Amino acid sequence: MYQTHGNICPRNCYDTCSIRSTTRNGILISVEGDSLHEYTKGKLCPKALEDVKKVYSLKRIRYPMKQRGRFSGYWERISWDEALNLIAGKILRLKEEYGSALPLALNKYSGNFGVLHNAMEGLFSGLGPTTRAIGSPCWSAGVDAQTYDFGTFFCSDPLDMGKSQLIWLWGVNPAWTAVHQMPILLNAMDRGAKVVCFDTYFSATAARSSRFIQVRPGTDGLLALGFSKVIVEENLLDPDLGSYALGHEEFIQYLRRDIDLNHCAEITGVPVKTIRELAVDYAKTHPACIWAGFGLQRYTNGGQILRAIDALGALTGHIGEPGGGVQYGQFQTWQFAGQLQSLHPKQTTKSNGLLKSAASDKENREDRLLSINNFAEQALQCSDPPVKMLWISGRNPLSQDGNLHLWKALIQSLDLIVISDLFHSMSSKAADLFLPVTTHYEHWDLHASYWHYWVGVNEPAIAPVGESRSDLQIAWAVSHRMNQLAPGSCAFPTGGDERETLLKELGPDMLEILGLETPEEIFNGPVRARFPATAWENRRFKTPSGRFEFGSAMAEASGLPAFPVYRPPLSPPGEFPLRLLTPHHPTTINSQVYTLETEKEHFIFHLSPDVAERYALKTGERVLIWNKLGKLEGIVQIENRLPLEAVILYQEPVKSNVPLNSLMGTPNTDMGNLSLGAPGFALNETFVNLRKLNSFAPIS
């Protein structure tokens, strides 16, 4: 018997697609895009197309497993009963020994962005004050930058971009990372709109654009300031600026005084003539839109880069213009009730899945908050009491964090490491217990996007594979066992109904945003939040002044310059002259792999002909890249229009026991504290050296 269900792809991705899945006699047989969804439009990206294989993959872990010795690979199947006893017993012993739950740490992020996955935060809140990873490895600097400028972080409905006459794609590669935006862009081009792609390398999106501008890594902020300088010189400012902006006079003075176009051209690599031409075109074309990507702000000056781009949009009157604006992302559609992760729902202000529950974490003031980007380092410094147990959920820090040697040290100091996941990972190698979780085809959930305005329910299409359980079921079960062993030891619910729990997350705020009378109406299908299509269309901003703040007192209060300024990125240290850039690859989302068969044999280092010539390298030759933290072997591939001083290494699946992040420290971005509680990961500030390997030497 055939049945169809509505699912939502839960990945850390712009598109958050609505899926129609088909089952036959309880077996998932196919998935396709939901044709009724305005953004997904019946299409899925190649990553999601293989979901059926992924759900039933032989590599999927179906039972709770215990590893005899960390990194031994000797895993044995255990029962849930035994797993829960081990976890609950350890928690109780630690609480008794230290008189506090602070030795218990949770490190969770974006493996699955479903709202019900906040059950893990809820479970930890139920244990008492614990140690938590907060912040985001992804987008923190940009989120703060837009918060200073606009007052909150919001973008237009992505369909609004279709109205634009000129679209600047700045450090974003939707052809690989937000495929559903591409038809909107291509349709705009077919109607005569011009698309200019700014990036450090000629990307798949650049190849579909009208024009490509190569910018030196980390200098985009200066380029934006250069454009603004031209706009001031040419007197192309929005005449209404005075009615909705604050501090533009000082900013304009700064541009006049401190920004020199020749210097700007020298640093950014974009000739003065091109800067002038592009700036005038941008100022004179209406509507004109900028889409600023996340990679753009993964620098130590990332927040300033975004603020400079926002300022350019505001100077020219493009902010608030239908088809215009500076788009980065949003979490206005994430105003869920937050009941799951909070112990005191009635006192809860709005919580937010993407904010890493910073709001509820802050309420629970005694929690010990560690930056997700410096987690191992900060956890090692915790002494009173030390961190003794770690739960990793929806994350793979031993692949994706920096300073992995500190992780190794942290692992040694921990009594118990629990990981809940679908597959083994670099991180599960260090775990003592592996708890198998359900995919989004096996549980109820609720999803919003950080890009489009749609919110919807994910229904289970099939029974859980093997003995896998959802995060919510796991959290209930742990609480249940804790309360059996020591009544009152965990305040999180000990059981319940997933569907009911989901409905409780649709509080009055969300119902209003979605235009629903009752929470149950969400089961009728995905709903578009009732925001106007254009962000800031009335130019009434959420800043303290209600204006677009070129000059931000909030920024100043955080110890930052009041208005956007040029801050250079890090310079390569002498012995490591090449910047390492690690952009997303179409087959993966960070360490989550979707193409099940094409694991590469070697890392591929993409070099510009200039770099290759300097090191006397040819395509196909074996090289070593290294720095003080680590080394990686791989194969050279020479390509035109790559950065002159960099190595590009895509995040694609490679058969290697050493993750590419073994080369990374943890440089922080300049912003992120305000919205996310911690700065972001400036991972594009990684530097390496390169040397040719003897082709006869064995690959170690």
* Contact residues for another protein, defined by CB under 8 A: 30, 42-46, 49-50, 52-53, 175-176, 179-180, 182-183, 186, 189, 197, 202, 204, 206-212, 586, 597, 640-641
Closest CA to 295 of 677, 631, 585: 585
Minimum CB separation from another protein for residue 187, in Å? Answer: 9
As a whole number of angstroms, the distance between CA 169 and CA 288 comes to 11
Minimum CB separation from another protein for residue 607, in Å? Answer: 17
Minimum CB separation from another protein for residue 640, in Å? Answer: 8
As a whole number of angstroms, the distance between CA 136 and CA 312 comes to 26
**For the purposes of burial, counting CB atoms within 10 Å of the CB of 628, is it exposed (0-12), middle (13-18) or buried (19 or more)?**
exposed
Judged by beta carbon, residue 276 or residue 388, the one nearer another protein is 276
Minimum CB separation from another protein for residue 212, in Å? Answer: 5
Q: Interhelix angle for 80-98 vs 471-485, to 10°?
A: 60
Minimum CB separation from another protein for residue 169, in Å? Answer: 12
As given in the structure block, the two tokens for residue 538 are: 């009335």
Judged by beta carbon, residue 223 or residue 319, the one nearer another protein is 223
As a whole number of angstroms, the distance between CA 114 and CA 421 comes to 14
Burial 670-699 (b: 16+ CB within 10 A, else e): bbbbbbbbbbbbbbbbbbbbbeeeeeeeee
Instruction: Report yes or no: 309 and 325 within 8 Å, Cβ to Cβ.
Output: no
Closest CA to 224 of 160, 140, 143, 309: 309
Judged by beta carbon, residue 396 or residue 439, the one nearer another protein is 439
Judged by beta carbon, residue 22 or residue 558, the one nearer another protein is 22
As a whole number of angstroms, the distance between CA 416 and CA 91 comes to 9
Minimum CB separation from another protein for residue 175, in Å? Answer: 4
Minimum CB separation from another protein for residue 29, in Å? Answer: 10
* Phi and psi angles of residue 533, each rounded to the nearest 5 degrees, phi first: -65, -25
Q: Interhelix angle for 119-127 vs 471-485, to 10°?
A: 20
Minimum CB separation from another protein for residue 635, in Å? Answer: 18
Minimum CB separation from another protein for residue 641, in Å? Answer: 7
Judged by beta carbon, residue 201 or residue 391, the one nearer another protein is 201
Q: Which helix (H) or strand (E) holds 25?
A: none
The strand ranges marked E within 319-472 are 326-327, 368-371, 389-393, 416-421, 433-436, 445-448, 454-458
Minimum CB separation from another protein for residue 186, in Å? Answer: 5
Minimum CB separation from another protein for residue 586, in Å? Answer: 6
Closest CA to 627 of 407, 412, 404, 429: 404
- Residue 396 burial (CB count, 10 A): 22
Judged by beta carbon, residue 215 or residue 245, the one nearer another protein is 215
Judged by beta carbon, residue 384 or residue 597, the one nearer another protein is 597
SS3 at position 32: strand
SS3 at position 347: helix
Judged by beta carbon, residue 184 or residue 305, the one nearer another protein is 184
The strand ranges marked E within 255-315 are 288-292
Judged by beta carbon, residue 180 or residue 216, the one nearer another protein is 180
Q: Which helix (H) or strand (E) holds 509?
A: helix 508-514
As a whole number of angstroms, the distance between CA 318 and CA 287 comes to 7
* Phi and psi angles of residue 525, each rounded to the nearest 5 degrees, phi first: 140, 165
* Phi and psi angles of residue 198, each rounded to the nearest 5 degrees, phi first: -105, 125
Judged by beta carbon, residue 185 or residue 414, the one nearer another protein is 185
Q: Interhelix angle for 302-315 vs 220-233, to 10°?
A: 20
Minimum CB separation from another protein for residue 439, in Å? Answer: 17
Judged by beta carbon, residue 272 or residue 658, the one nearer another protein is 272
Tell me which residue has tokens 């909030």: 554
As given in the structure block, the two tokens for residue 605 are: 């280092």
Q: Which helix (H) or strand (E) holds 14?
A: none
Beta strands at 631-638 and 622-626: parallel, antiparallel or unpaired: antiparallel
Judged by beta carbon, residue 186 or residue 697, the one nearer another protein is 186
Judged by beta carbon, residue 275 or residue 477, the one nearer another protein is 275
List residues bridging with 689 in a β-sheet: 626
Judged by beta carbon, residue 214 or residue 689, the one nearer another protein is 214
As a whole number of angstroms, the distance between CA 455 and CA 19 comes to 13
Minimum CB separation from another protein for residue 43, in Å? Answer: 5
As given in the structure block, the two tokens for residue 643 are: 């950065």
Judged by beta carbon, residue 199 or residue 505, the one nearer another protein is 199
Minimum CB separation from another protein for residue 327, in Å? Answer: 20
Q: How far apart are the first and last CA of the chain?
A: 52
The answer to whether the peptide bond before residue 287 is cis (omega within 30 degrees of 0) is yes
